[in-house]
Amino acid sequence: MSVTPRVRVPASASPGEVISIRTLVSHPMHTGFMEDARGEIIPRHIINRFTCDFNGETVVDMEIAPGLAHDPYIEFDVRVDESGEFAFAWHDDDGSVYTQEARIEVG
80: confidence class by pLDDT, cuts 50, 70, 90: very high
Q: What confidence tens digit (pLDDT) does each residue in 55-71 have?
A: 999 999 999 887 777 88
pLDDT of residue 74: 95
CA dist 105 and 107 (Å) reads 7
CATH T-level topology, domain 5-106: Immunoglobulin-like (2.60.40)
- Per-residue pLDDT at 32 exceeds 80: yes
Residue 29 Ramachandran class (φ > 0 left, ψ -120 to 50 alpha, else beta): left
Q: What percent of the chain has pLDDT over 90?
A: 71
More confident residue, 9 or 69: 9
